[in-house]
Amino acid sequence: MGMTTDRVKRAFKYRFYPTDAQAAELSRTFGCVRKVYNMALAARTEAWTRQERVNYNQTSAMLTTWKKTEELSYLNGVSSVPLQQTLRHLQVAFTNFFTKRAKYPRFKSKRKSRKSAEYTTSGFRYRDGQLTLAKMSEPLDIRWSRPLPDGASPSTVTVSQDAAGRWFVSLLCEDPTVKSLPVVEAAVPIDVGLTHLLTLSTGEKISNPRHERRERERLVKAQRTLSHKANGSANRSKARRKVAKIYTRIADRRRDGLHKLTSKLVRENQTLVIEDLTVRNMVTNHSLARAISDAAWAEFRGMLEYKATWYGRKVVAVDRWFPSSKLRSKPGCGHLNEKMPLNVRTWTRPCCGATHDRDVNAANNLLAAGLAVSVCGAGVTPQRSSPGRQSATKQKVSRREP
C-alpha cells in the first residue's frame, strides 16, 4: 500500500447550465471583474512610473472609493468577493514580475481574455450537493460527472465561460484519496517529438494524434466563413462561435489524451526523465510552430510534474543543450556527431557500422543523463560552443512536419 501524502488540494471541474437570470448576473460579474482589474493595473502602472509601489491593501481601498462614485456605482450590483479576488490575482502577477518569474501584467481584453470569476467561502454556499453563488436565489444546475470526495468542503469556486459559450464551475477542495503509489524500480526516459509524440528507451513509440491537423479542413472553412461576415453583426457572432467550438473540441481531445498518457507513465515508473525544452522559444520557428503547439509539449510536462508530485514519483529534467540525438548511447563509446540535420531519423556510426534510430538513441542518452542527475543531484552540462544561443529548431522536430 502507498503511503498517504500531505493533503492535496484538487480542482474538480464541471459543466453547468445557468438560467437566463444567472447568466446575466455572471456576465455582469465578469465585466466588473475585468473593469476592476484593469483600473487597478492602470493605477499601479501610473504609480510605478513615479517610482512608487502600490500593494493589494491600497488597491482594495481604491475599490471602496470607486464604488462610491456615480460613474462606477454599478460595481455595487455584483458580489464584492470576485472583485477582491481579482485584486489578489493582480498582486500575485506583480509578485511574479518582481521576482522575474513572469512578464509585466497585461490589461484584460473584453474579447480575448478568459471570462471568469472566483468566489471564496463567503461568496457561495455548498450544501447537500448544491452550489449557490452570492447574489443568486437558486443553485446552479451542475452536471456532476464525478462525485466530490466524501466530506469535501470547497475552499474556492471559480465560474468561467469559454469562447464556445459553455459554462464551467471549478471547485477547489482537499482530496484525501490522492496517495503515494507503491515504489517501483522502473525509470523511463521520455523523448518528445512530432513524428512520434513520445519515444521511450525500450523502442516504444507513442504516435502523435495531431488533433489540430485532423480538424484543419473544417477549421479553415469556418474561419473563411467568419472573415466574410460584417463586423458587429449577429451572423459574425454565430460564425465566431462556430470557430470557437472547433478549437474547444481540439483542446478537449488533446487534454483527454495527455491525461491518459501521463497517468499511465506515472503509475508504471518511479523516475521519469525529460528534456528541459524551451517551447516558448521553439515556436518562434514559423514553419514548425503549428505542429509544436499541436503536440502540446509544455502541457504534457505540466501534467507529468504535478501528477508525479501527487503520487510520490520523481521527474528529472536534463539540460536542453545535452546532445541526446548526436551522442551514441552505447556505454563506453561516447561517439558524438558534429552535425545531425533534422530530417535524419537514423544514423550509422562510421567506425563500426552500427545503425541507430535517432529518437530511441536520444531516449537512451536521456535515461543515462537523468539517472546521473538523480544520483548526483546536479544538472547535466553539455559541451556547447554558443552558450547564449537559443535554437528554435532543436533536435526534436522534423522538417517533414507542417
Let me know the angle formed at the C-alpha of 248 by 247 and 250, rounded to the nearest 5 degrees.
Answer: 65
Out of 25, 118, 294, 359, the active site residue is: 359
Kindly give the pairing relationship between strand 191-192 and strand 196-199.
antiparallel
Q: Which of 220, 209, 213, 214 is nearest to 242 (CA)?
A: 220
* Cβ count near 312 (within 10 Å): 16
Q: Could you give the CA distance from residue 357 to residue 207 in angstroms, rounded to a whole number?
A: 16
- 359 assigned to active site: yes
Give bridge partners of residue 8 from the DSSP assignment: 175
Question: Among the options 191, 212, 294, 401, which is catalytic?
Answer: 191
Which residue out of 118, 275, 294, 401 is catalytically annotated? 275
User: In the chain, what is the greatest distance between 2 CA atoms, to the nearest angstrom?
Assistant: 83
The rounded distance, in Å, linking the Cα atoms of 156 and 85 is 10
The grid coordinates of residue 116 equal: 471568469
Lookup: cell for 300: 504534457
- Dist. CA 229–CA 39, nearest whole Å: 33
Q: 103-130: buried (b, 16+ CB within 10 Å) or exposed (e) per residue?
A: eebeebeeeeeebbbbbeeebbebeeee
191 an active-site residue? yes
Q: Which helix H or strand E contains 348, and what residues bound it?
A: strand 346-348
Residue whose C-alpha is closest to residue 295's, from 272, 325, 261, 265: 261
Q: Which residues are catalytic?
A: 191, 275, 359
